[in-house]
Amino acid sequence: MNKLIFADSAGPAFQRIYNNSHFALAALLPASLVSPQRIYNNSHFALAALLPASLVSPQDGTIAKVADVGLAATITVHNHIALNYVISDYVPRALQVPVRGGVLALSALTAVGLTKLALSGPGIGGAVKELWKKK
């Protein structure tokens, strides 16, 4: 089922890359654990755990830093997979490859920005807390 969903959301070139990487990952993990649909579904649980941990823990603590780095990775992966599903549903097939390239660039920028915020700034939780801070 996941291969059918992924085949519809990606072109043949992406499907070949996915299948080749799938065999390499299959030695480490069962194939059902590394499908995009499975990763997307499980990222909801990671977001549900990491966001409160980032908001509740002290801003300069280790737990906040770990939660913020986890949030940066999870938000990036979650959004990247979700936007690829949107592309497969709403973008004409002839334009899907360049639009997917744009989404990949946007995902890379998101990862860099959120990781920088998590490591050298106030953190993702700290930035959210500052929205409600009295001046």
Instruction: Retrieve residue 126's tokens.
Output: 């700290």
Residues 75 and 120: beta-carbon distance below 8 Å: no
Q: Is 90 annotated as a binding residue?
A: yes
Tokens of 3: 């291969």
* Distance from C-alpha of 22 to C-alpha of 34, rounded to nearest angstrom: 8
Q: Who's near 42: CB < 8 A, 6+ residues apart?
A: none
22 assigned binding-site residue: no
The annotated binding site for a ubiquinone is made up of 90
The annotated binding site is made up of 78, 90
The annotated binding site for heme b is made up of 78
